[in-house]
Amino acid sequence: MEARLLGIVCGLFLLILLQAESTAVELVPEKIAGFWKEVAVASDQNLVLKAQRRVEGLFLTFRGRNLTVKAVYNSSGSCTTETSVGSKRDTVGEFAFPGHREIYVLDTDYERYTILKLSLLWQGRNFHVLKYFTRSLEKEDEPGFWRFREMTAGQGLYMLARHGRCAELLKEVSPLPLVYIVAQLS
């Protein structure tokens, strides 16, 4: 009975992911670059939701076909950063990173929210995580959150991110790309 229930849950999650992938947006790198605070996570893997190191924020920069992701983690109360460089794939909004990791931009309005799908191969298993990010440190209940809830409705595993000082520190020390500043002024 438990195995059958687990199979149904995994099947629903894959269906949700397939629906989410079909809604991938045309990505404009200059508009999505900059600071993003993690607000919510959804995954069918409980292990992913209970990770010791939790991402609080990202800072994205683009150079040609490369995406640099500077992530700030809260690891037992300490803030640590990690920088990874990925390369654009042939699919719009998809980037591959070392270590069998991929990021897909599923939805964004560029100014308030973005929804990403992260995939990684770990210990011979594929893990998929949907993440909801905002530009704001304060506002979490944006229209994008309802879009995120819609994309993950059948999944049942949600976790709202803690308000953390690590994301605040990343936003303070990371300068906004000139292109993003110009876009905000226009």
- Report the share of the chain in percent with pLDDT over 90: 33
What does the pLDDT look like over 98-131, one tens digit per residue?
989 999 999 999 999 999 999 988 788 888 889 9
**Confidence (pLDDT) at 86:** 95
**Confidence (pLDDT) at 150:** 85
**Confidence (pLDDT) at 123:** 80
**Confidence (pLDDT) at 66:** 94
Residue 111 identity = E
Helix intervals (H) in the chain = 2-21, 29-32, 46-49, 143-151, 165-173, 178-185
- Report the share of the chain in percent with pLDDT over 70: 69
The residue-averaged pLDDT of 20-39 equals 77
- Checking if the pLDDT of 59 tops 90, the result is yes
The residue-averaged pLDDT of 12-22 equals 39
Largest separation between any pair of C-alpha atoms in the chain: 57
Structural domain including 162 reads 2-185
Q: Where are the beta strands (DSSP E) in the chain?
A: 34-43, 53-63, 66-75, 78-88, 94-97, 101-108, 113-122, 125-134, 158-160
**Confidence (pLDDT) at 178:** 40
What's the mean per-residue pLDDT of the chain?
75
- Checking if the pLDDT of 182 tops 50, the result is no
Give the total number of structural domains in the chain.
1
C-beta atoms surrounding 75 within 10 Å:
12
Answer for the pair 115, 17: CB distance below 8 angstroms, yes or no. Answer: no
Most confident segment among 5-19, 36-50, 82-96, 139-153: 82-96
Higher pLDDT, residue 114 or 146: 114
**Confidence (pLDDT) at 160:** 61
Q: What is the CATH number of the domain that holds 31?
A: 2.40.128.20
**Confidence (pLDDT) at 154:** 72
